[in-house]
Structure 1
Amino acid sequence: MRPAEAEARLARALARAGAGGEPSSDRELHEAPTPPVGPLRPAAVLLAVDLSNGPARLLLTRRAAHLRHHPGQIALPGGRTDPGEDAVTCALREASEEVGLPAGAAEVLGLLPAHETVTGFAVTPVLAVLRTGFVPRPQAGEVEEVFAIPLAHCADPGRYRLEGRIWQGRLRRYWVLPWGPHYVWGATARILRGLALGMQP
């Protein structure tokens, strides 16, 4: 997907989100939905679309295998918000820490509807473009790999599929987005699918 087309379609997704885009939830696919346990904790992730060199690509990370939470999973740069932080500040701070994104490198376009995770977070996706390339620096001990996948792949709803597994005695269903050796699933795939649906004509 060429940069000009990518920007136009990202703008379309943001316009649709601003015109009543509904928050999503990990639990919406479960056979027996359950209410959240306790108050949701705010978090944010950065959907950084690199327009600097050739077709548009989306930045992703693979978490370190030894981590206690979500080891080895594919994720967007991000994390929980610190006290007093807004979603944009949090997403940019986390991207700086996790992948070495330089200050001022991301042009923030806007926010997508929040996503509620089964682990109790309300995650706000922050959509941004990168017009200048940079050399990623994975955060030592936290991030195993930083890579980018074509935005055209992420933006095709037909690339996503539903899978499921038994978790805590119940069937839990979730979206997945395979790409080469990488297996994007769970909240990350659900957020990306929401973006893909918003980008459609």
Structure 2
Amino acid sequence: MTDPLVSLPAFREAAAERLGAFAHTTVPDSPGSRRAGVVLCVVEHEGVPSVILIKRAYRGRNAGQWGLPGGRMDEGETPEEAALRELREELGLAVGPAEVLGRLDDFPAASGFSITPVVAAPSDPGPLRPSPDEVHSVHHVSLARLAADDTPRWVPQIDGGHLLQMRLRPDWVVHAPTGAMLWQFREVVLLGREARVADFLQPDWTRN
């Protein structure tokens, strides 16, 4: 069997099987809660399957932070519909519902949003057309880099907990919520392991 870390068709097959067997958790609605959908969008980049990561524009909510394409759900939308709509609005990529392979756990962000990550691997999403109003820069992280042993680092905290850092490059360090969703994607989809992330620590600056 071809390695799903280096072949997009093999990734699609493995991801669909693993996500199909994964019982994702959903954060229940509550007064004042807000919902969002994001996409772990896997495309071929420089010959290998890679996840699209963005740095948000230096304005508005989450200014300058690492993130996955996505955003707030509109009334009547499902998380998948919101995630794919935001992917199109932010990056110009056209991904259909049939190219969604599954979803991971809702993440209860400190900002008050419940974020639903969906996994998609489009065959022909079209060219990237980032919206300058929402996206400062676009980056690709290979699946092999995400799966590498030295990518996650757990930093001890004064209170005894540990803060996850996803070290994608020496100068690319991603924390929860985005880091938590990348870590669960790595564990469940790439490595085939059970993993939950709802209780992961989040830096104070992610509350904005």
- Calculate the TM-score normalised by the size of structure 1: 0.78
Q: How far has the Cα of 1:2 moved from its partner?
A: 1.7
In structure 2, the residue matched to 1:95 is 87
Q: Does 2:15 correspond to 1:5?
A: no
1:165-176 matches, cutoff 5 A: 173-176=162-165
In structure 2, the residue matched to 1:41 is 34
1:1-201 matches, cutoff 5 A: 1-17=6-22, 20-22=23-25, 39-51=32-44, 54-65=47-58, 67-102=59-94, 104=96, 107-132=99-124, 134-156=126-148, 158-163=150-155, 173-180=162-169, 181-199=171-189, 200-201=191-192
Contact kept, 8 Å, 1:53 with 1:133, in 2: the verdict is no
Contact kept, 8 Å, 1:157 with 1:197, in 2: the verdict is no
Tell me, what secondary structure is at the counterpart of 2:177?
helix
Q: Structure 1 residues 90 and 22 mapped into 2: Cα distance closer, same or farther (>3 Å)? A: closer
Greater relative contact order structure (CA < 8 Å, 6+ sep):
1
Contact kept, 8 Å, 1:105 with 1:131, in 2: the verdict is no
Distance in 1 (alpha carbons) for counterparts of 2:95 and 2:63: 28
> Could you list the per-position Cα deviations for residues 146-178 of structure 1 after superposition, in whole angstroms to 9, with x for gaps in the alignment?
121101222346411123779xxx888532212
Tell me, what secondary structure is at the counterpart of 1:102?
coil
- Give the percent of matched residue pairs that are identical in Structure 1 and Structure 2: 30
Structure having the higher strand fraction is 1
Q: How far has the Cα of 1:51 moved from its partner?
A: 3.7
Deviates more, 1:49-58 or 1:143-152: 49-58
Give 1:4's aligned amino acid: P
Q: Structure 1 residues 126 and 105 mapped into 2: Cα distance closer, same or farther (>3 Å)? A: closer
Distance in 2 (alpha carbons) for counterparts of 1:152 and 1:106: 25
* Runs of at least 5 residues in structure 2 that lack an aligned partner in the other structure: 1-5, 193-208
Distance in 2 (alpha carbons) for counterparts of 1:157 and 1:77: 25
Distance in 1 (alpha carbons) for counterparts of 2:26 and 2:96: 28
Instruction: Tell me the number of residue pairs that the alignment of Structure 1 and Structure 2 aligns.
Output: 183
Contact kept, 8 Å, 1:42 with 1:80, in 2: the verdict is yes
Give 2:9's aligned amino acid: A
* Runs of at least 5 residues in structure 1 that lack an aligned partner in the other structure: 25-36
Distance in 1 (alpha carbons) for counterparts of 2:116 and 2:149: 21
